Each structure stands twice: as structure tokens, then as C-alpha cells.
Amino acid sequence: MSHFPIPIISDVDFAFPAKLGWLPLLSEVPEKWHVGGFSKQQRFFASLFYVGVVEMGLLPRENVDPKLAWRALQQLCGTYAIPHERKEATFAFLCDQWFHEIRWRPANGVLVPFDDAELEAQYVARAKKKPR
């Protein structure tokens, strides 16, 4: 599967997220990702943006560097350079482009697991084995 290109973001642009020339235009983001939807990716954005996330897991799509993809999504969340509606729609779209499964626990709520129960069980089992 081909996906939207992941940008390489400098430390300066990450710290001061005003240069976002790499983003798709809102007109290039499919309508299903626009504000008002209840996709998992849109709910993840809302948790990140409004209440914070205390735990998360992102499983990247093939040929996606998860660290670079997450860095780009973080830069997008932190910018004031675009309207909120574009930020939300673009985040949901790119999250879907770069990650095939997401899970998270909002700071004020209950864990939202992977959609695939078997994958969730494997992820949890691996996490329990990791030293802290």
C-alpha cells in the first residue's frame, strides 16, 4: 500500500511548528476524515488534544518509520498555523495512512484497544514481558 509521504522534520521546526508545507490541503483529505466523524483516528486526536493520553500503541503500516510518522503527527498537533478543523481532519487521515492499528488510554478514561482482539492480546503479553 502506498501512503502519504512522511516528512523529515528538523528539531527547530518540531519545536516551532509553523512550517507545514508537507501537509495535504484540506481539499485533498477525503471527506470521511473531516470534522464531525467518529472514526477511531478522530477519537484518538480528540483524546490527545483535549485530555491527554497516558498510554498508547501505534502499529505502523508496511514501509512506515513509526518514529518519523509520530513526530510528524506531533508537529501537526502542536501547530497554530492552520485552522483546528484542518488539523483534526489531517491528523485522522495521516494517522490512518501511517498506522494500521492504534490503541490508547486517555488521561481521564478507559483504554481503547486495538480493533483486532488477537493483536491486542499479543501486544499486552509483550508489554508485560518488557522490563520497566
- pLDDT digits over 78-116, tens only? 999 999 999 999 999 999 999 999 999 999 989 999 999
Average pLDDT, the chain: 93
Say whether 53 sits in a helix, a strand or coil. Answer: strand
- Quote the pLDDT of residue 128: 84
Amino acid at 72: A
CA 132/CA 117 separation, integer angstroms: 24
**Which residues contact residue 78 at a Cβ distance below 8 angstroms, ignoring those fewer than 6 apart?**
17
Residue keyed to cell 522490563: 131
